[in-house]
Amino acid sequence: MKIGIASDHRGFRLKEILKASLPKIKFKDFGTFSEEPADYPDYAFLLTEEIQKRRLSRGVLICGSGLGMSIAANKAKGIRAALCLNKEMAKMARNHNNANVLVLPANFIKEEEAKEILITFLQERFEGGRHKRRIDKITKYESRN
């Protein structure tokens, strides 16, 4: 599984911690590469374009609140970005919503929580069934716009 990761300046530190503490996961890092002010849409769009092109299986976006990255990522066709504050939300995002992008709020979660959330997001699978029907409705609506 190919995993992309990106952040703005507020998420940079957590991004680097996650990469260093989870060495078995081979991340493709799309930046930012410092704590200098950066615009979150730039990094959200870089990562989501790679998922759309099927060069990545999933992605991780990190900013201060998680809100900006979520909004930007969800503008991209075929992207289902989920802002998760705990591992239960990450599990539901995968099982029920088939989320392909995890969004983490660096200002609101601890490093250990972020690791647990990320691991859960990567391990869980989409359940399909009634959830697929709902995702199909979203995909159909998305294709009209």
Full domain range(s) for residue 136: 2-143
Residue 145 has pLDDT above 80, yes or no: no
Could you tell me the two tokens for 86?
């705990």
CATH number at residue 44: 3.40.1400.10
9-43 as b/e: b if 16+ CB within 10 A: bbbbebbbebeeebeeeebeebbbeeeeebebeeb
Domain count, the chain: 1
Could you tell me the two tokens for 87?
């591992």
User: Cα–chain-centroid distance for residue 142?
Assistant: 19
- Which tens digits make up the pLDDT trace of 43-93? 999 999 999 999 999 999 999 999 999 999 999 999 999 999 999 999 999
| Cα–Cα dist 9/25, whole Å | 22
| Cα–Cα dist 113/56, whole Å | 24
pTM of structure:
0.96
Contact present, 66 and 48 (Cβ < 8 Å): no
Q: Show which residues are catalytic.
A: 63, 96
Q: Quick one: pLDDT at residue 1?
A: 85
